[in-house]
Structure 1
Amino acid sequence: MPTHPLITWAVDHPWPAAGIATAALAVLGAALWATIRAVRSITWPPGSVLTAGAGAIVCTIYSGDTSWRFAGERLGMVDSTERALMFGAGELALLACAVMARANKAATATESTAGSAGVPGVLVWVITGVQVIPCYATSGIVGGTVRAVIGPILAGLLWHLAMGLEIRVARPEALSTGLPAVIGRELRERLLSRLGLATRDRTAEQITRDRATARAVHLAAVLELHPKGRLAGYRRRRLAAAVARSGAGTNGEQRHRLLQQLAARRTSGQLATVPLASPWAGTPVPGEAYPRTPLGVAGAQLRAMDPLAVVHLVRAAHPEGTPAEVAALCTEYGVPVSETQVRIALRAGNSLYPPSAPALVRPVPDPISVVPDGVRLLPVTCRPSVPRPTPAVAAAHTRTRPVVTAEYVPEDPVPGPAPVPDDPDEEVPEGDRNVPDPDPLIEHARAEYGTDVPGIRPLRARYGIGQARAQHIRDALGGKK
C-alpha cells in the first residue's frame, strides 16, 4: 500500500514534523479561542426573537421551494443555472425589506413610541401577497393554501416579529406609529366604545348595571312621549326589568346616576334657550402660573437652579429689597426660601435695618447754660468712650471725647432706694470700671426699649455689663417703684 509522501517525510524528519504540528495546533487553538470570545461578546437578542428568526428562515426556504417549481413550470426557466439565480428573487427582496424596516423602526423609536417601519415595512406585506400567487398556481386550491400559509405568509409574519419585536421587548409601553397599527388601535377603541366597554376598571356586574341604567332611561323617556300606545304595557315591563337589573333600588350611587341621566334627557330641550356668556367679549386672558422672573431668566430655568443662586438673581433685580421681601419674591417665582436662607446667601447678618456710622465726636452743650443752682462742676477729663453695641457694625478704634461731669450736692439730702448688692462672686466687667457719667447706654436703651423697661438680668445679658450698672440704667429709664 503506497504511503503518502507527507507521512514519509514526517517519519524521516520527526522533530521538524513535531514542531510544525505543534505550531498548527497552537494557531488552531488561538483561532478557536478568538472565535469563542467574539461569539460571547455579541449582544444576542432575546430568545423569542431568535426563535422567530429561525422560524422565518425555515418558512422562507419553504417559500423558495414554491418559487423554484413555479419558475420551471410557469416561467419557462428550464436551465438550472438560470433558475438558481432567479427563483429566490422574491425571498431575497422580502429579507432585504425586513432588514430595512427594522433599521427604520430603530431609528425613529423614542421613549413613548416604538418607531415606524416606513415604506420597507409596507413592501414586506406587498411581496408576501405577490408570493401567494405561485402557491396556488403550482398546487391548486388545497395545496396552494397550505403552501401560501406555511410559506410566504408565515415568513412575512415571523420576519416582522423577528425584526420588530426587540424594540417592544426593551420598551413594552411603546406604541407603534405605523399606519396599520394606528388604524388598528383606532378601530379597537371605537369598537369598545360602541359595545360600552370603553370605560376601564369596571367589573362585568358594573357594566351590566350601567347598560340597564341607560336602557331604563331610554324606556322612561319613550313612555313619557307615548303613555297609552299599543306597546305601553310591554315597555313598562321592560322598564321595570331594566330598573331591577340596574340595582337602583339598593345602590344609592346607581340611583343617583339613573335620576341624573333621566333629568338630563327630559330637560334636554332647554339647551336651546340656556343663557350663555359670549366667548368673544370680556373673556380675561389667563395669567401665567408664576410672575415674570428677574433678569430675563425663564421660570422653569429659575426653579431648576440652586436656591442661593436664585436669591442673588432676585436681589440683583430688586437691590432695595429687605431679606424678607427677597424671600417673598423668591417664593412667588416658585423657589420657596426662608428669610434665614436669604441672609445666609447675602451675608446680611441678623440686623433688620442698615447700620448707620456713628459720629466720631458727640457734641457736648455749653455747661454754663445748663448748670442748675446747687451744682458743683468738676474738672474736665477725657475718657475713652464705650462703643455703641450695634449688631452689624462695631467700632474698630477707641474714640475719645470731652465729658463734663457734675456732682449735685443738695442742701437736704433725701435718702434714695437702697442699691441692689452685687453678687460676691461676680466679676465686674472691664467696661464697668470706668463708666462716663451720664452713661451713654441709657440713651441707647431708651431708644431700643422705650417705655417698656426691662429687668436687670435682660439688661446685663443684652449689653454685657455688671449688675450695678444695669440697676443704674433701669433707674434712669423709669424703672423705680
Structure 2
Amino acid sequence: MDLPLLTNWALTHPWPASAITAVAVLVLVGTAWLVTTTVRSWTWPPMPVIVASAGALVCTAYTADTSWRFAEHHLGMRNTTERLIMFAAAEVALLACALMARSNKTATATRTAAGTAGVPGVLVWVITGVQVIPAYSESGIVGGTVRAIIGPVMAGLLWHLAMGLEIRVARPDALSTGLPAMIGRELRERLLSYLGLATRDRTAEQITRDRASARAVRLASRTRLRPWGRNRLAAAVARSGAALDPEQRDRLMQELAARRSATELSTIPVASPWQAPAPAEVTVERVPEAPDEVYPALPAPVPAPPNTVPATARLLPFVCRRSIRQPAPVFAAAGAPTRTTVHAQVPLPDEQQVPVPEVPDEEEPEGDRDIPDPDPLIARARAEFGTEVPGVGRLKATYRIGQARAQRIRDALAEGST
C-alpha cells in the first residue's frame, strides 16, 4: 500500500487508524520492555572471559580461512558447497571441545583444586597442533609461521583462558589437577631448587650471601689451597657478610664444622632398625627410712585439788537458776541453765552454831526430794558406767531424774574415778 493512500485512509477513517496506532505502540513498548528485562536478567560472565572468547572466535575465523584455502589446493574440494560444509570441521570440533573442557573443569572444581578439563582439554591441543600443518602448506615457512601462531595456536590459548580464567579469578589459590599442569609444576619446582631459589621470602642480597657462604664452606673444607683458592675463599667470606652478621657467621661455622666432620658419620654406632628395642632398665633407689620422730614428753597430769569439804559436813541440795536473757546476741548455748551453785554447811564450834535456813528448790521435781543419803542410784550408775563420767543430760535421760540429783550422781562418779 502506498503512503499517500495510507494517509488518505487514515484521514477518512480516524477511529480505526487511531486504534491501530495505539495497538502498534503498545506492542512496541511491550517488546522493548521484554527485551530489556531479559537482557538484565542474564548472568554475564566476567569481562576477561568475554574478551578472551571474542579473541578466540577471531583467531578461529583466521584459522578457518587457512582451512578454506587448504581444502581447495591440497584436498581437491573444488565444489563451493562441498568446501563450505567441510572446511570448518576442525574449527567446529575445536569450539565443541573447548566448551566441553570448560564444563568438565567447572564440574570437578573444588575448594583447593581448580578441576581438570579431561579428554576434551587434551583434544583442544591436538586439534591446534593438526591445524598448524595447513598454515605451513599454504604460506611456507614465514607466512606459515604467522598463520600458525595467529590462527590455531592463539585460538587454542585463548580458548584455554576462556574456559579456565573464571575459575582462577574465583579461587586464585586453586591448583589444576590435570597431568600437564602437574608436570609443569614439578618441573618448575625442580628448576628453582637447582638454581637455589626454592626457599621463599628471601631477597636477592640474602640469596647472594647464602651462595657465598656455601662457596666459602666448600673451599675452607679442603686441606690444601693454592693462592688462587685462598683469594676465592677470602672473596666468598667477604660476600657472605659473616664478619658483620652474627647469624650468618654462626651458620657458616656450623656448616663448616658439619662438612669437616662428615667422615665421622661412618664410625658413629647406631641401633639396628631390624631389632626390637631392649626394654628399658628401671632402677629402684632405696630411700632410707626416716627415723622415728621423737615427740616431746607430755606434761604430767595436773593432780586433782584436795577435798576441802570435811566428811562430816552436810551438803545442801543443788540449786539451778536460769539466767535472765539479755538483749545481747543469743549463741548456741543460749537459754541453758547457769553454773550450778554448791552450798556447803561447815560445822562450827558449839558456841558458834548458827542455824542455816533451807531454801526450797522450786524447780526440783517432786521425785528428787527426800532422797536418802547415800543415793541408791550412785551405786547403780557406778555399776553401769564404770570409770566413765557421763554428762548431766545423759543421767537425766537414763534415770528420768531432775537436774540436782543428776548433778549429785555425776559428782559422785567423778570423785570415785579420781
Q: TM-score range by the shorter chain?
A: 0.5 to 0.7
Equivalent position to 2:327, from 400, 403, 422: 422
Q: Normalized against structure 1, the TM-score is what? A: 0.57
Query: Residue in 2 aligned with 1:104?
Result: 104
- SS of match in other structure, 1:53: helix
Q: Do 2:113 and 2:175's aligned partners in 1 also have CA atoms closer than 8 Å?
A: yes
- SS of match in other structure, 2:172: coil
* Letter aligned with residue 201 of structure 2: D
Query: Residue in 2 aligned with 1:346?
Result: none
Query: Residue in 2 aligned with 1:161?
Result: 161
Change (3 A) 1:11 1:77: farther
Query: Residue in 1 aligned with 2:41?
Result: 41
Q: How far apart are residue 16 of structure 1 and its match? A: 2.7
Q: How far apart are residue 8 of structure 1 and its match? A: 6.8
Alignment of 1:244 with 2:243, yes or no, is: no
Q: How far apart are residue 411 of structure 1 and its match? A: 4.3
Q: How far apart are residue 412 of structure 1 and its match? A: 6.3
Q: How far apart are residue 271 of structure 1 and its match? A: 1.8
Q: Which has the larger radius of gyration?
A: 2
* Letter aligned with residue 266 of structure 2: A
Q: How far apart are residue 48 of structure 1 and its match? A: 1.0
Q: Do 2:220 and 2:233's aligned partners in 1 also have CA atoms closer than 8 Å?
A: yes
Cα separation, 1, equivalents of 2:258 and 2:162: 53
Q: Do 2:325 and 2:335's aligned partners in 1 also have CA atoms closer than 8 Å?
A: no
Equivalent position to 1:270, from 264, 269, 284: 264
Alignment of 1:65 with 2:83, yes or no, is: no
Q: How far apart are residue 232 of structure 1 and its match? A: 1.6
Query: Residue in 1 aligned with 2:129?
Result: 129
Q: How far apart are residue 283 of structure 1 and its match? A: 6.3
Change (3 A) 1:77 1:17: farther
Which structure 1 segments of 5+ residues have no match? Answer: 285-408, 437-481
- SS of match in other structure, 2:111: coil
Report Cα offsets for 1:261-303 as digits up to 9, x if no partner.
Answer: 111111112222322234445569xxxxxxxxxxxxxxxxxxx
- SS of match in other structure, 1:114: strand
Change (3 A) 1:69 1:12: farther
Cα separation, 2, equivalents of 1:155 and 1:111: 29
Query: Residue in 1 aligned with 2:115?
Result: 115
Cα separation, 2, equivalents of 1:101 and 1:233: 64
Alignment of 1:203 with 2:203, yes or no, is: yes
Cα separation, 1, equivalents of 2:165 and 2:101: 12
Cα separation, 2, equivalents of 1:435 and 1:9: 131
Report Cα offsets for 1:349-373 as digits up to 9, x if no partner.
Answer: xxxxxxxxxxxxxxxxxxxxxxxxx
- SS of match in other structure, 2:173: coil
When the two structures are aligned, how many residues end up with a matched partner?
A: 301
- How do 1:67-466 and structure 2 match up within 5 A? 67-221=67-221, 223-224=222-223, 227=224, 232-282=226-276, 411=317, 421-423=326-328
Change (3 A) 1:14 1:415: closer
Change (3 A) 1:7 1:205: same
Cα separation, 2, equivalents of 1:29 and 1:283: 90
Change (3 A) 1:128 1:219: same
Which structure 2 segments of 5+ residues have no match? Answer: 279-314, 338-418
Change (3 A) 1:92 1:434: farther
Cα separation, 1, equivalents of 2:48 and 2:161: 9
* Letter aligned with residue 214 of structure 1: A
Change (3 A) 1:76 1:281: same
Q: How far apart are residue 6 of structure 1 and its match? A: 6.6
Q: Normalized against structure 2, the TM-score is what? A: 0.65
Cα separation, 1, equivalents of 2:220 and 2:123: 55
